[in-house]
């Protein structure tokens, strides 16, 4: 590859990791998360894009997002591979967010797609405690010079706190 065709820029920013400890088993925590936030269906998205276009997709996303305006967009089941290699059995990352929110951010800075959706890690301590970890959205989005990003980051932190407190009930 010709180095004249490649340019790299390094953008530094301050981050913060948020960690919650719930005094309940991993399986119960994941079950409660899935009862609070719905998972998006890729098949329905494809179908709605073919038959109804953007308006139909937007209606579906609003329905799935519910009151919290958040949904599970995907998962990475770390525990499946790790447990086979003598690692932690209960470890799963969730992609949580809202494509409509991501779209509004990416219209301003396309790079925001790196941080939307949020990545939320659930794992256990080997006992009956679930640990939930994620990067503070206010810090991730705070690197972008925009009032919308600041407001969105703060809003997402409050929503995640609400979700986790509901999981812990």
Q: Report how far residue 93's alpha carbon sits from residue 79's, in angstroms, rounded to the nearest whole number.
A: 10
Q: What is the pLDDT of residue 3?
A: 67
Q: Which of 136, 138, 117 is nearest to 65 (CA)?
A: 117
Q: Report how far residue 67's alpha carbon sits from residue 52's, in angstroms, rounded to the nearest whole number.
A: 23
Segment 120-156, tens digit of pLDDT: 999 998 889 999 999 999 999 999 999 999 999 999 9
**Residue stretches of the chain with pLDDT short of 70:** 1-3
Q: Which two tokens stand for residue 25?
A: 């088993």
Q: Which two tokens stand for residue 130?
A: 């679930």
Q: Which of 62, 68, 156, 67 is nearest to 112 (CA)?
A: 156
Q: Which two tokens stand for residue 98?
A: 């809202």
3-class SS at 73? strand
Would the pTM of this model clear 0.95, i.e. be above it? no
Q: What is the pLDDT of residue 77?
A: 86
Q: Which two tokens stand for residue 84?
A: 């086979």
Alpha helices in 66-146 (DSSP H): 78-84, 99-106, 137-142
CATH superfamily name and code, 18-39+70-168: TT1751-like domain (3.30.310.70)
Q: Which two tokens stand for residue 59?
A: 């209606």
Q: Which two tokens stand for residue 88?
A: 């932690």
Q: What is the pLDDT of residue 57?
A: 94
Q: What is the pLDDT of residue 84?
A: 74
Q: What is the pLDDT of residue 166?
A: 98
Q: In the chain, what are the domain boundaries?
A: 18-39+70-168
Q: Report how far residue 26's alpha carbon sits from residue 73's, in angstroms, rounded to the nearest whole number.
A: 20
Q: What is the pLDDT of residue 81?
A: 77
Q: Say how many C-beta atoms besides its own lie within 10 A of residue 30's C-beta.
A: 17
């Amino acid at each position: 590859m010709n180095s004249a065709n490649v340019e790299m820029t390094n953008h530094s920013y301050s981050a913060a990791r948020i960690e919650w400890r719930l005094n309940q088993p991993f399986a119960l925590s994941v079950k409660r998360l899935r009862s609070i936030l719905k998972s998006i269906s890729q098949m329905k998205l494809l179908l709605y894009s073919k038959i109804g276009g953007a308006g139909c997709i937007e209606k579906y996303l609003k329905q799935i997002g519910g009151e919290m305006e958040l949904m599970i967009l995907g998962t990475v089941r770390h525990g499946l591979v790790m447990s086979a290699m003598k690692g932690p059995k209960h470890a799963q990352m969730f992609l949580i967010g809202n494509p409509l929110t991501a779209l509004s951010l990416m219209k301003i800075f396309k790079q925001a797609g790196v941080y939307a959706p949020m990545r939320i890690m659930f794992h256990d301590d080997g006992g009956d405690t679930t640990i939930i970890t994620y990067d503070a959205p206010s810090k991730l989005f705070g690197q972008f010079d925009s009032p919308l990003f600041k407001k969105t980051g703060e809003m997402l932190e409050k929503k995640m706190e609400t979700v986790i407190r509901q999981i812990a009930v």
